[in-house]
Amino acid sequence: MTSARWSAKSHAIRSSTAGVVSWPVIATWPVEHGGRGLSVAHRVAFYEEYAKADAPDKVNHLGEELVGPTLIGYGTPAQRQRFLPAIRDVSELWCQGYSEPGAGSDLAGVSTTAVLDGDHWVINGQKVWTSLAHWAKWCFVLARSERGSQRHAGLSYLLVPLDQPGIEIRPIVQLTGDSEFNEVFFTDARTDADLVVGEPGDGWRVAMATLMYERGVSTLGQQIRYARELSGLVELAKNSGAIDDPSIRERLTRAWAGLQTMRSFALATMDEELPGQDSVAKLLWATWHRDLGELAMDIKGKTGLVLDGGEYDEWQRLFLFSRADTIYGGSNEIQRNIIAERVLGLPK
């Protein structure tokens, strides 16, 4: 999808979803924050049925699943009153300002700065791989607010409006022609002093809480989409004759077994938190999906190297997109380090 087509699609989605209450996450919010106080089991049921219906991705999932719960857990009453209603009715979209050119998987290396100047924070720096920034009205930004601080110390979690002169957004054109990701440049950008979530300098703790929300029960819905992809690959293998190859049959079987493992793990951690569970889950699904993309290309064989009418088909797109699964959101190497150090107690 070209940048122009993506822009047209985003406008259509925003227009069609404005004012529509987002049920799955919002319903589990506490009643006092506009939710219905339903259980996690209700949320799981919705995600699975939503995925089975092959419904489209939610346009404001960052607001619903990350910003909203973070504000409920760490925000001030004024912040909740200002932002939660617009998240509930999908009238304001959000993006995540974490990764930088020099701080991707090693998030503690962020160098974007935020300096308090009277009633405003003044922000300078660059974020990259920022999903949906070209749609969003707001960005939650992790910035270094204490001069000379290192690593996890001295960071603040800021809510920043994107519609201002000090911010430039540049879409990144991917191999597929899509422009889902962006570079975001901050040049004396400003946000109100009271739009820091948590205490100034305590942004790392808030940012990690946000990541925990990101890797929650929604993976059960993700797994159903993966199962649909796997079923499609089985049909492709049958139709192309690749199913006659014993190695292809074995890899398809292993892929099915991997899906069952991911589902069992997700269900086991619904009610009981296990050490390192977020890292284990990310490692499982990212590796599985990357391998599925490679399997798709092997099943297609030589036809996988040819574009039909200049467009990638669904299996070529799967291969190209899944290459990034083991990198974004914390690379496989980072996840293994976390498991080794924090769960197994191995030396650094």
- Active site residue ranges: 214
Q: Are strands 181-192 and 196-197 parallel, antiparallel or unpaired?
A: unpaired
pLDDT (tens, 9 = 90+) of the chain, 348 residues, equals 344 444 444 444 444 444 444 555 677 788 899 888 888 778 778 777 877 787 777 778 889 889 999 999 999 999 999 999 999 988 999 999 998 987 766 778 899 999 999 999 999 999 998 988 998 999 999 999 998 888 889 999 999 999 999 999 999 887 777 778 899 999 999 999 999 999 999 999 999 888 877 665 667 778 888 999 999 999 999 999 999 999 999 999 999 999 999 988 888 877 667 778 888 888 999 999 999 999 999 999 998 888 877 788 999 999 998 988 898 878 899 889 989 988 898 987
Query: Whose structure tokens read 């022609």?
Result: 177
212 inside domain: no
**Residues 186, 261 within the same domain:** no
- Give the structural domain span for 295: 217-343
Same domain, 68 and 124: no
Give a three-class secondary structure readout of the chain. Answer: CCHHHHHHHHHHHHHHHCCCCCHHHHCCCCHHHCCCCCCHHHHHHHHHHHHHCCCCCCCCHHHHHHHHHHHHHHCCHHHHHHHHHHHHCCCCCEEEECCECCECCCHHHCCCEEEEECCEEEEEEEECCCCCCCCCCEEEEEEECCCCCCCCCCEEEEEEECCCCCEEEEEECCCCCCCCEEEEEEEEEEEECCCEECCCCEHHHHHHHHHHHHCCCCHHHHHHHHHHHHHHHHHHHHHHCHHHCHHHHHHHHHHHHHHHHHHHHHHHCCCCCCCCHHHHHHHHHHHHHHHHHHHHHHHHHHHHHCCECCECCHHHHHHHHHCCCCCCCCCHHHHHHHHHHHHCCCCC
Q: In the prediction, which pLDDT does 318 show?
A: 93
Beta-sheet pairing, 138-144 with 94-97: parallel
> What CATH number has the domain bearing residue 102?
2.40.110.10
Please give the pLDDT value at position 29.
85
Contact partners, residue 263, CB within 8 Å, separation at least 6:
220, 223
Neighbours of 196 (CB within 10 A): 25
Domain count, the chain: 3
- pLDDT given at position 183: 94
The confidence score (pLDDT) of residue 266 equals 83
For position 279, what pLDDT does the model report?
Answer: 86
Please answer whether residues 61 and 69 qualify as being in contact, where contact means their C-beta atoms are separated by less than 8 angstroms: no
The whole-number pLDDT of residue 52 equals 79
| Domain end position, chosen among 142, 171, 203 | 203
Task: Write down the pLDDT at residue 104.
Answer: 67
Domain-ending residue, one of 203, 236, 257 = 203
Determine how β-strand 120-127 pairs with β-strand 181-192.
antiparallel
| 211 domain residue, yes or no | no
Q: What is the pLDDT of residue 218?
A: 61
Give yes or no for a contact between 281 and 259, defined as CB atoms under 8 angstroms apart: no
CA distances from 184 to 92, 108, 172, 194, 240 (A): 18, 19, 10, 22, 44
Please tell me the predicted confidence (pLDDT) of residue 217.
60
Asked if 71 and 145 sit in the same domain, the reply is no
Which residue among 56, 88, 120 closes a domain?
Answer: 88
**Cα 235 to Cα 253: distance, rounded to the nearest angstrom:** 14
| 133 and 80 part of one domain | no
Burial class (CB in 10 A: 0-12, 13-18, 19+), 235: exposed
148 found inside a domain: yes
Is the residue at 348 inside a domain? Answer: no
- Round to whole Å and give the CA distance between 261 and 265: 6
pLDDT the model gives residue 23 = 53
- Residues 18, 99 within the same domain: no
pLDDT at position 214 is: 64
For residue 74, what is the domain's CATH number? 1.10.540.10
